[in-house]
Amino acid sequence: MKLNGMKWFRFCVVALSSVSVLIGCTSAEDRRTASGNYDYLDVMPSRGLAIPEGLNAPATNEEYAIDDLESASAAYGRELDIRAPAQVLPLVEGSNVKNSTGSKISINFSLEESGGNVRDEVWRVLWEYFYEKGIRARFWDKQGGVLITDWFHSDIKLSEDNTIIDTLTFSEKVIHIRQRYLFSLDVNEREDKGTLTASLLGYEETLDNRKVADTLTDIDKRRYTVNLLNGAIGHYEFKKRVDAHQKDQQKLKPITLSVGQDASGLPAFIASAGFERTWSRLALVIADLGFTIEDRNKSIGTYYVRYHGSQSLWESIWGDGIDIDIPKEQYQILLGDLGNSTSITLLSIENRPVGEERLAEIYDALKDAMERGVINQ
């Protein structure tokens, strides 16, 4: 279908008008207040039942009576905020939200599983996030557990009808928001658990270089604080996923192998990587050699394996299986930490060295598997 010039112009005008309506149809005020009218606010309270003189008042049931509001500052009508409460998102493993009221928000962190230092970890995450967002610290006592941010800015764009917009270039109004926060961190004696508490210390709104607001309700204070905390937690969770991905990639990187001796002087293979990488890499390649892992004990660096030879269906059809001429029985593969390298020793199930002949039988296959860039599983 082709459109002539005039039809195309009308189509563009209608389309742009629709976009403007969609973007500007809901203001910040509309989003926080209920729709409809508020005539009920003008309704006069009903008078009590008038009892004529000489008659007794009828019996009443107070079970469904509505108590009087204790606070005279309770919100009504447009003053009532109907938005869903802001929630902290404990995305990081080992974190959970501590019950907190008012504008102070607390979240618990636990590094028991990883064995890390919660003081160092939490402050590092906050510092990275602040640096990324251009937020500076006015005061920071790492050991004392206190961090106070400097004032930092964010802007809200408004269209001509005071509705919030994000990217339109014809916005004539920009509200400048300044905030600063207090963070406190309490840790236990082992420093593997801690509670981070955040609260809003200061807030200002300016429009055309004039201050238009400098106070917030507790609900809005909480909302701003939760948003900042969720940003930091999201940054933390993203970094942990990146670190986990990099560790997984490390496992797949080739590790060169040579012949040497372990710390006891026994014949061994020497891997050109530290214990952690070699331990993880060996677990991935050992099945390629025809071994099955029956048990393992990382604290003593030992895999308990059984050699059964190649049993891959593909290899049995094409004859591409690895042929290692050693008895099909149980063995121990012992890893020794040599700092920047790791020794790999093959022992019998009775802890006896298998000898250089059997080591020579599996050397080529193990060397090829450890140095291979991509593992076939």
- Over residues 58-84, the pLDDT tens digits come to 888 888 877 765 555 567 777 777 777
Mean of per-residue pLDDT scores for the chain: 79
Checking if the pLDDT of 164 tops 80, the result is: no
Assess contact for 374 and 252: CB atoms under 8 A.
yes
pLDDT at residue 13 in the model: 40
Checking if the pLDDT of 316 tops 50, the result is: no
User: What is the spatial distance between Cα 95 and Cα 145, in angstroms, rounded to a whole number?
Assistant: 18
CB environment 256-289: b (16+ within 10 A), e (fewer): ebeeeebeeebbbbbbbbebebbbebbeebbbbb
* 148 strand-pairing partners: 139, 182
pLDDT at residue 357 in the model: 82
Alpha helices in the chain (DSSP H): 5-24, 28-32, 118-133, 218-252, 275-285, 313-318, 356-371
Band the pLDDT of 16: cuts 50, 70, 90: very low
CA–centroid distance for 120 within its chain: 17
Torsion, Cα 127 128 129 135, to 10 degrees, reads 60
Residue type at 219 in one-letter notation: I
Find the mean pLDDT for residues 353-377.
77
Checking if the pLDDT of 364 tops 80, the result is: yes
> Where is mean pLDDT largest: 149-158, 253-262, 319-328?
253-262
Q: Which CATH superfamily is domain 257-371 in?
A: Outer membrane protein assembly factor BamC (3.30.310.170)
pLDDT higher for 341 or 174? 341
Q: What percent of the chain has pLDDT over 70?
A: 78
Band the pLDDT of 17: cuts 50, 70, 90: very low
Q: H or E segment at 58? A: none
Residue type at 347 in one-letter notation: L
What are 47's two structure tokens?
């008078």
The angle that helices 118-133 and 218-252 make with each other, rounded to 10 degrees, is 110
Q: Is 84-249 assigned to CATH 3.40.630.40?
A: no
Checking if the pLDDT of 358 tops 90, the result is: no
Each domain of the chain, given as residue ranges in start order, spans 84-249, 257-371
Assess contact for 14 and 8: CB atoms under 8 A.
no
* 203 strand-pairing partners: 179
Helix (H, G, I), strand (E, B) or coil at 329: coil
The angle that helices 218-252 and 275-285 make with each other, rounded to 10 degrees, is 70
What are 343's two structure tokens?
């020794």
Q: What is the pTM of this model?
A: 0.56
pLDDT tens-digit series, residues 258-297: 999 888 888 899 999 999 889 988 988 888 888 999 999 9
Checking if the pLDDT of 171 tops 70, the result is: no
- For the ranges 21-30, 244-253, 275-284, 285-294, the lowest mean pLDDT is seen at 21-30
User: What is the spatial distance between Cα 234 and Cα 148, in angstroms, rounded to a whole number?
Assistant: 21
pLDDT tens-digit series, residues 328-346: 899 999 999 998 999 999 9
User: What is the spatial distance between Cα 19 and Cα 168, in angstroms, rounded to a whole number?
Assistant: 11
User: What is the spatial distance between Cα 4 and Cα 264, in angstroms, rounded to a whole number?
Assistant: 88
Find the mean pLDDT for residues 166-173.
49
pLDDT at residue 167 in the model: 42
- Contacts (Cβ under 8 Å, ≥6 apart) of 236: 91, 92, 125, 129
Checking if the pLDDT of 99 tops 80, the result is: no
pLDDT at residue 44 in the model: 79
pLDDT higher for 206 or 150? 150
